[in-house]
Amino acid sequence: MANCSQCKSFFAIPEGADDFAPGKGDCVRQEQDAKGKWYESKPVMGDMTSDKCPKFAQKK
């Protein structure tokens, strides 16, 4: 079963950062529409299941 830590949008929070917690990361994705591009970011846990996430993309 895939989880967020296997997704290319998952970026682990480095130890020492204010919001560090074991296994925690940020989900950062680029979005685009007719007017331009922007980034969406939200905190996620690496062990969260990604089965129901339509944006999951396997990390290479």
Residues in touch with ligand SF4 (CB under 6 A): 4, 7, 9-10, 27, 29, 44, 50, 53, 55-56
- Are 7 and 45 in contact by the 8 Å Cβ rule? The answer is no
Closest to ligand SF4 by CB, 20 or 49: 49
Smallest gap from Cβ 22 to ligand SF4, in A, equals 17
In 3D space, the residue among 38, 37, 35, 46 whose CA is nearest the CA of residue 11 turns out to be: 46
Nearest approach, Cβ of 53 to ligand SF4 (angstroms)? 3
Give yes or no for a contact between 4 and 45, defined as CB atoms under 8 angstroms apart: yes
The distance of closest approach from Cβ of residue 30 to ligand SF4 in the complex, given in angstroms and rounded to an integer, is 11
Pairing mode of beta strands 10-12, 36-45:
unpaired
